Amino acid sequence: MSVSRIRLILELKGKGRCECEFARHLAPLTVGSILRALPIEGRAHRYDGSFIYMETGLAIGREKQRDEFKRGDIGFMIANGAVCVFLKDVKGMMFNPLGKVTSNIEVLDGVSAGDVLLLAAV
């Protein structure tokens, strides 16, 4: 495992799992805080079909924010401390970049209200 790229599993309980990779250089403080809090489990929420998110309970400030993300990218929303996975390309909303889904993103297309997400180390 590389120090700068960290492999993770994002599991949609009872429906499947996908592999992710966080890149420390994108937002080192944010990535570090999330890694120390693993495993993180929470209810899945959908936002307008653009992304799904899970609140983490972490309070982290702005860090190297971007406003453009592609399908499969992962970002951190500082307003509610949520890890977000983009299901389609998004422009105009600010997030701390974390990394990307590297396999099986289709699993996340089926997220519905009440589903539980688990983010954990490999």
Domain ranges (residues) in the chain: 5-121
Note the CATH architecture for domain 5-121: Beta Barrel (2.40)
**What does the pLDDT read at residue 2?**
56
**Would you say 46 and 52 are in contact if contact means Cβ atoms under 8 Å apart?**
yes
Looking at residues 79-89, what average pLDDT do you find? 97
**What does the pLDDT read at residue 1?**
47
Looking at residues 69-91, what average pLDDT do you find? 97
Chain-centroid distance of CA 60 in Å reads 14
- Its pTM stands at 0.95
Strands of 1-122 (E only): list them.
5-12, 16-23, 40-43, 45-47, 51-55, 66-69, 73-77, 82-86, 90-103, 116-121
% of the chain beyond a pLDDT of 90: 91
